[in-house]
Amino acid sequence: MMLSLPARPQLDRAQILKAAASIGVVGTGSHSAPRMMAMLCNPRVSARDVASLVDKEPAMYARVLRVANSPYYGQARSIASIDRALVLLGLDAVRGIVAAACLDRTLALGSDESPIDLRALACHSFATAVAAESLARIQHQSLASEAFIAGLLHNLGIAMQISLDLPGINAMIDVRRTDTTSDIRLLESQHAAVGHEECIAAIFEEWQLPPSLVAAVRHHHDPMGAPVVHRALAGLVNLGANLGLACGNTFTLEPGPVNRNLGAMTHLGLAEGDLNRVEIALPGRVAELRSVLLNA
């Protein structure tokens, strides 16, 4: 008779945030991008407010100008001021730039001897963001910017798991060598002390991001379990992640495509043809925007 292993102690929100603070993801020593993201997600923020904030952050100032002057925007004249860059880019694009900075920085903090290919994780996150935004533009235009941000950052909880629970991560990787199809949340329930969705939700709350973004990352594997008011955004991230995997943007813990969530599709009013069209265009869109936003 096979003996079952004792349940591993579960980590709570305080332990998640303590680990996040230890590597500079939250707290007074954290980088500026999360603080900027919280401000940019405020619907009352103005372009003048954003310009004033970016002016005080040299690294973000340089990053915004690099994006504004990239070949993607095809400007005949050099953009030398933040005010002009904001006119060209718009606030949604600046939100994307800041979210990409959050992704870069957080993955860099967790990169030392990581058992997970964090470059592949970043590629999957970016594909999810592009796909989620594209799906939103079909039926839920008002959610496009939030869908991009939530999609880009939805898997940062895995970087926190590496810091918090390396034995659990290694156990899941061992399982993945022979089992490529089990749901990642099932693996976490069997081997991890904390789920990646709860990790990133706790960090988003600490960053003071809107409840819609918190709910979207907390429920991106179970969008119909999100509060009704946030179910559409969670569904966009879920389906975006699905399309990212289907296009080959996989990573260590999610090594292959997964079934589409029919409940999320119905809730969003999306058909198979809508997802297929986004999937076809996704590789080109990802290549274009990664060259603009990642490591800008």
For residue 34, tell me if it sits in a domain. Answer: yes
Check pLDDT > 60 for residue 53.
Answer: yes
Q: What is the pLDDT of residue 8?
A: 54
For residue 181, tell me if it sits in a domain. Answer: yes
- Tokens of residue 230, six digits: 């946030």
- Note the pLDDT tens digit of each residue in 153-203: 999 999 889 988 999 999 999 999 999 999 999 999 999 999 999 999 999
For residue 133, tell me if it sits in a domain. Answer: yes
Percent of the chain with pLDDT over 90: 55
- Among 136, 133, 38, 134, CA closest to 95: 38
Structurally, the chain folds into a number of domains equal to: 1
Q: What's the CA gap between 173 and 188, in Å, rounded? A: 11
Top mean pLDDT of 32-36, 82-86, 247-251 is at 247-251
- Among 123, 159, 75, CA closest to 289: 123
DSSP category for residue 109: H
Range of the domain at 167: 13-293
Q: What is the pLDDT of residue 31?
A: 61
Matching residue, tokens 């973004």: 213
Q: What's the CA gap between 261 and 245, in Å, rounded? A: 13
For residue 2, tell me if it sits in a domain. Answer: no
Cross-strand pairs, 251: 254
Q: What is the pLDDT of residue 130?
A: 94
3-class DSSP assignment, residue 209: coil
Rounded to an integer, the average pLDDT of 204-228 is 95
Q: What is the pLDDT of residue 172?
A: 96
Q: What is the pLDDT of residue 59?
A: 84
For residue 65, tell me if it sits in a domain. Answer: yes
Q: What is the pTM of this model?
A: 0.89
For residue 139, tell me if it sits in a domain. Answer: yes
Calculated CA dihedral for residues 157, 184, 164, 19, nearest 10 degrees: 20
Amino acid at 202: A
Amino acid at 227: P
For residue 6, tell me if it sits in a domain. Answer: no
- Tokens of residue 45, six digits: 């923020």
Q: Please, which residues have CB within 8 angstroms of residue 106's CB and are 6 or more apart in sequence?
A: 25, 156, 159
- Note the pLDDT tens digit of each residue in 64-120: 998 888 877 777 678 888 889 988 888 888 888 888 888 888 887 666 678 999 989
Please, which pLDDT band fits residue 23 given cuts at 50, 70 and 90? confident
Percent of the chain with pLDDT over 70: 93
Q: What is the CATH number of the domain that holds 147?
A: 1.10.3210.10
What is the chain's mean pLDDT, rounded? Answer: 88
For residue 5, tell me if it sits in a domain. Answer: no
The residue among 282 and 292 whose pLDDT is bigger is 282
